[in-house]
Amino acid sequence: MVFKQQPRRPSSRLVVRDGEFPEVVRLGDPHSQWRDLYHLLLTIPWTGFIGLLGMIYLLINTAFAIAYLAGGDCIANSDGSFMDAFFFSVQTMASIGYGNMNPTTTYANLLVVVEAFVGLLFVAMATGLIFNRFSLPTARILFSHVAVIAPHNGVPTLMFRTANKRRNRILEAQLWVTLVRDEISLEGEYLRRFHDLHLIRSHTPLFALTWTAMHPIDPSSPLHGETSESLVTSNAEIVVALTGIDETVSQTIHARHSFVSEEIRWNHRLADILLWTEDGRRAIDYTSFDRVVPIPSPEETNGSLSRDRHRM
């Protein structure tokens, strides 16, 4: 999509840290999230979901309590108060049947029939929503907080790290990495362009421990010729998407992350996190997962070699 050129402003992330999509003002779009109620109920936090169900439950019983009161003295052993009518509605909807109160008129019995049907629908829908929320496939994928650009086999390479936090395997895992930046066309039009970044290894049959993604910045790379300053100027962002099949539940899972230009460390390397324990077992040091180490400059390297020779 092409937009009219506007004054540059810091762009928001395409992928934010809490896993939700960033808030975007939709001008001229009358769409409301309440029109897609099913999707809303599956995506809101659990606290909001339980609170909404509880509020609906109370409102339904309140409405039926008012309807019972409108029928006059139609509930046996009731003092005619709102609380008695409300508790009778709760017992009716839940099919508790304590026996203290019961309908005594045709009006009340018809109202009980309607409430029993409404209660059946409410319980069925609430059960289905809760099951769907629990059965949604989720991924516990860890991404490094920063990406680095460092030489690899003599070629500057963009690298970041990801790991599977669950104690199982992700089958047929694939990584997609995209560079998103502001560009100006030859006609002077402002665009937000997406460029695919090809990885040395973009898929793996088994993803169990860690995975270091590497994109060589060769002449064919969209990052070729870029600097830390130019990435900031173009509001650049590295967007990462990972998909795979969870071995335990045999469902496709998704994870996403992004690195803005300020989170890309130039001339740094990712610290090594693969270790060996004293009893000879492989270990992963997650305390160093986000740690990076600077690359010594050629002058520092030559100076270190000269000091070593002098000691010898």
2 — pLDDT class (breaks 50, 70, 90): very low
pLDDT surpassing 50 at residue 312: no
Q: What is the pLDDT of residue 122?
A: 93
Q: From CA 267, how far away is CA 100, in angstroms rounded?
A: 78
pLDDT surpassing 70 at residue 133: yes
pLDDT surpassing 90 at residue 266: yes
Residue 62 CA: distances (Å) to CA of 68, 73, 78, 84, 121: 10, 17, 16, 11, 17
pLDDT for 102-132, tens place per residue? 898 999 999 999 999 999 999 999 999 999 8
DSSP conformational letter for 279: T
28 — pLDDT class (breaks 50, 70, 90): low
Share of residues in the chain with pLDDT > 70 (%): 84
Domain with CATH 1.10.287.70 in the chain: 36-135
Is 258:177 a contact under the CB 8 Å cutoff?
Answer: no
Q: What is the pLDDT of residue 32?
A: 65
Domain with CATH 2.60.40.1400 in the chain: 141-311
pLDDT for 269-296, tens place per residue? 999 888 888 888 888 888 889 999 998 7
Q: What is the pLDDT of residue 127?
A: 93
98 — pLDDT class (breaks 50, 70, 90): confident
Residue among 134, 159, 174 at smallest CA distance from 255: 174
Average pLDDT score over residue span 132-152: 89
Residues 6+ apart with CB under 8 A from 203: 172, 173, 174, 175
Q: What is the pLDDT of residue 185?
A: 83
141-311 CATH: 2.60.40.1400
Architecture of domain 36-135: Orthogonal Bundle (1.10)
Residue among 279, 258, 7 at smallest CA distance from 146: 258
| Continuous segment of H or E residues that includes residue 201 | none
Average pLDDT score over residue span 34-56: 87
Top-ranked range on mean pLDDT: pick from 7-16, 134-143, 211-220, 282-291: 211-220
63 — pLDDT class (breaks 50, 70, 90): very high
pLDDT surpassing 60 at residue 258: yes
